[in-house]
């Protein structure tokens, strides 16, 4: 396989540090922000180049190694599923970096902030591309370390420190239990390469040790992915982080953890083997998150519980066990990253001007900040699944896949939960358009770069709701890449 410069964007954090230090010493303003934006655009372009290479020969899988041959050496395996997840990550990363230019303008230690943000994007792309269990673990740790520090970034106040510490403890426990799972799989199969593990372990009769591996995988991946008994870090971490970091965390990090879970599950076990435990987890996640979101007074905390509920909807699609269900999950991953990212960024604009996170203090903001309120309205309509936005399309595919397998009660429960979630979205929108208090009457609209990002994301949400054809075809090809055996045949013919 011939590879050009497609993977060089993985070294972009080094460049951001160099230019950041130059900007601090020579006092050139906006140099590091410009470099960060250029490098994010370059990574989006590199993912597009990889997609073009895939399109030239659709039945092949790109394998990237350094030195030794794949069954023993580490490798990247880039198929359509990886490209799809990497595209979501780099797109949201570009929007977050452009938004941060104005939002974080009054903070200190900005060099470290942009470096860690670009390292976070690189690590998410690395998790999507990993072809080896230990390579996935290395990028998983990088993803964890950068996000722990970015949540606790505004260390002058006590909230981010507490949230960051709680997140770090739970995330580190999850990563180390994942390492135990890798060790047990290595003991059984003698290798850590995904294709070889699949050849060795798929189709074997279920023994007690394979059930133990499933339990360890659920806990290890589920802590980062906020599945219900292990979700308690999320409602503290998302409000206290700076808004672009909340958008990245909620928009793509928990979905990448879910992608890791799906990938490893479909490689070790038969499709649909563990439908019952995943159904139980899906029901618990959806119901608990929606009920708790109704009781919140803090805007970002309400959006954080909404993220947990959306992960519950994705688990409904996973428990169906068919390619149609996985297509719904992948479509919802991309759509949720756009919608939830838009919601958190608009919330950041509102909070930036209102100086408070309580819903009651934002009464009447629609009069002075009309465009941001409109984008927030579009985001919440999409999150609730109103027809005309892309959220409706992906939720439709998710719940109809549950109906198609015979789990009609699960699909019905999902639809009811969607309707329930509209209650707290509409409550916030009613607060926005009610009679304003005196304190908010003198405020202006958000700065122009923040406004441009939110408006373009809202346009994408509505555009993909009216014209979903290309997205559905990409998602269906990515889902098919999970089920056919090209991934395995490349390494073990």
Partner 1 sequence: MSGNGVGPVKIVSITFSVLLFLSLLYVVSSTPFPHAKYRSRELLPIEPADALGGEMSNFLWNFRGFDLIMQTLILFATAISCLALLREEKH
Partner 2 sequence: MANDLVFIGAIFTMVCIGLYCVTQKSMIRILLGVEIILNAGNFAFVYFASYRVIEGFVDPLGQTLALMSIILGGSVIAVGLALIVNAYKQFKTTEVDEMRRLKW
Residue 438 in tokens: 């005196």
Give the end-to-end CA distance of the chain in Å, rounded to a whole number: 16
Residue 145 in tokens: 């370390």
**Span 66-125, contacts to partner 2 by CB under 8 A:** 72
Q: Which does 175 bind (CB under 5 to 8 A by kind): partner 2, partner 1, none?
A: partner 2
Q: Does 162 bind partner 2 (CB under 8 A)?
A: yes
Neighbours of 209 (CB within 10 A): 11
Burial 417-442 (b: 16+ CB within 10 A, else e): bbebbbebbeebbebbeeebeeebee
Size (the chain), residues: 493
User: CB of 492 within 8 A of CB of 196?
Assistant: yes
Burial of 356 by CB count in 10 Å (0-12 exposed, 13-18 middle, 19+ buried)?
A: middle
Q: Site for partner 1 (CB under 8 A): which residue of 155, 427, 430, 437?
A: 155
Only one of the segments 76-84, 163-171, 247-255, 323-331 lies at the binding site for partner 2 (rule: CB under 8 A); that segment is: 163-171
Only one of the segments 9-17, 217-225, 270-278, 330-338 lies at the binding site for partner 1 (rule: CB under 8 A); that segment is: 9-17
**Span 246-305, contacts to partner 2 by CB under 8 A:** 292
Q: Site for partner 1 (CB under 8 A): which residue of 104, 116, 450, 453?
A: 116
Strand partners, 132: 193
Q: What is the DSSP letter of 189?
A: H
**Span 350-409, contacts to partner 1 by CB under 8 A:** none
Least distance to partner 1, CB of residue 119, Å:
5
Q: Collapse the DSSP code of 6 into the 3-class scheme (helix H, G, I; strand E, B; otherwise coil) and give the result.
A: coil
Only one of the segments 138-146, 242-250, 352-360, 447-455 lies at the binding site for partner 2 (rule: CB under 8 A); that segment is: 138-146
Strand partners, 62: 78
Q: Site for partner 1 (CB under 8 A): which residue of 39, 122, 311, 330?
A: 122
Q: Site for partner 1 (CB under 8 A): which residue of 49, 57, 176, 204?
A: 204
> Residue 266 belongs to what H/E stretch?
helix 254-268
CA–centroid distance for 103 within its chain: 21
Q: Does 103 bind partner 1 (CB under 8 A)?
A: no
Only one of the segments 161-169, 200-208, 335-343, 417-425 lies at the binding site for partner 2 (rule: CB under 8 A); that segment is: 161-169
Residue 390 in tokens: 């892309």
Q: What is the DSSP letter of 251?
A: I
Q: Does 210 bind partner 2 (CB under 8 A)?
A: no
> Residue 78 belongs to what H/E stretch?
strand 75-78
Site string for partner 1, 207-226 (x = CB under 8 A): xxx--x--------------
Q: Which does 434 bind (CB under 5 to 8 A by kind): partner 1, partner 2, none?
A: none
**Residues 6 or more apart in contact with residue 263 via CB below 8 angstroms:** 81, 194, 482
Only one of the segments 162-170, 261-269, 408-416, 457-465 lies at the binding site for partner 2 (rule: CB under 8 A); that segment is: 162-170
Least distance to partner 1, CB of residue 109, Å:
5
Q: What is the CA radius of gyration of the chain?
A: 22
Q: Does 128 bind partner 1 (CB under 8 A)?
A: no
Q: Does 30 bind partner 1 (CB under 8 A)?
A: no
d(CA 247, CA 340): 7
Q: What is the DSSP letter of 250?
A: I
Q: Site for partner 2 (CB under 8 A): which residue of 30, 155, 430, 437?
A: 155
Least distance to partner 1, CB of residue 130, Å:
10
d(CA 368, CA 363): 11
d(CA 389, CA 471): 13
Binding stretches for partner 1 (CB under 8 A)? 10-11, 13-14, 17, 65-68, 71-76, 108-109, 112-113, 115-116, 119, 122, 126, 134-135, 138-139, 141-142, 145-146, 148-149, 152-153, 155, 187-191, 196, 199-201, 204, 207-209, 212, 492
Binding stretches for partner 2 (CB under 8 A)? 72, 134, 137-138, 141, 144-145, 148-149, 152, 155, 157-159, 161-165, 168-169, 172-173, 175-177, 179-180, 182-184, 186-187, 190-192, 235-236, 240, 292
């Amino acid at each position: 396989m011939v590879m050009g410069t497609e993977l060089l964007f993985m070294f972009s954090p080094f460049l951001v540090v160099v230019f950041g230090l130059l900007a601090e010493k020579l006092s050139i303003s906006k140099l590091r922000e410009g470099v960060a934006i250029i490098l994010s655009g370059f990574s989006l372009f590199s993912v597009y180049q990889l997609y073009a290479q895939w399109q030239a020969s659709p039945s092949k899988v790109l394998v990237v190694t350094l030195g030794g041959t794949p069954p023993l050496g580490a490798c990247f395996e880039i198929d359509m599923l990886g490209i799809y997840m990497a595209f979501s990550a780099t797109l949201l990363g570009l929007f977050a970096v452009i938004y941060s230019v104005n939002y974080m303008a009054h903070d200190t230690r900005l060099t470290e902030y942009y470096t860690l943000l670009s390292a976070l994007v690189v690590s998410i792309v690395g998790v999507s591309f990993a072809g080896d269990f230990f390579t996935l673990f290395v990028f998983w740790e990088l993803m964890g370390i950068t996000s722990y520090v970015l949540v606790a970034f505004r260390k002058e106040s006590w909230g981010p420190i507490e949230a960051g510490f709680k997140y770090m403890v739970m995330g580190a426990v999850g990563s180390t239990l994942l390492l135990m799972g890798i060790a047990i799989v290595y003991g059984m199969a003698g290798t850590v390469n995904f294709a070889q593990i699949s050849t060795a372990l798929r189709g074997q009769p279920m023994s007690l040790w394979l059930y133990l591996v499933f339990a360890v995988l659920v806990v290890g991946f589920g802590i980062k992915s906020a599945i219900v008994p292990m979700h308690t870090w999320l409602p503290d971490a998302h409000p206290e982080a700076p808004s672009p970091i909340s958008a990245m965390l909620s928009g793509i990090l928990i979905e990448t953890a879910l992608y890791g879970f799906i990938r490893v599950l479909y490689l070790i076990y038969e499709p649909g083997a563990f439908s019952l435990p995943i159904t139980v987890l899906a029901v618990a996640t959806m119901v608990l998150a929606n009920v708790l979101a109704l009781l919140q007074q803090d805007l970002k905390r309400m959006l954080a519980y909404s993220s947990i509920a959306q992960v519950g909807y994705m688990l409904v699609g996973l428990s169906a066990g068919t390619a149609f269900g996985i297509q719904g999950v992948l479509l919802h991953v991309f759509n949720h990253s756009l919608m939830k990212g838009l919601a958190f960024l608009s919330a950041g604009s509102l909070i930036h001007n209102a100086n408070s996170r309580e819903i009651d203090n934002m009464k009447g903001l629609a009069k002075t900040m009309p465009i941001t309120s409109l984008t927030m309205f579009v985001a919440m309509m999409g999150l609730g699944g109103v027809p005309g936005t892309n959220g409706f399309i992906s939720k439709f595919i998710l719940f109809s896949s549950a109906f198609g397998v015979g789990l009609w009660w699960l699909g019905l429960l999902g639809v009811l939960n969607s309707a329930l979630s509209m209650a707290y979205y509409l409550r916030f929108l009613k607060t926005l358009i009610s009679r304003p208090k005196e304190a908010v009457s003198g405020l202006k609209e958000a700065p122009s770069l923040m406004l441009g990002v939110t408006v373009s994301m809202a346009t994408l949400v509505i555009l993909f709701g009216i014209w979903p054809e290309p997205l559905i075809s990409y998602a269906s090809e990515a889902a098919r890449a999970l089920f056919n055996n090209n991934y395995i045949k490349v390494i073990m013919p």
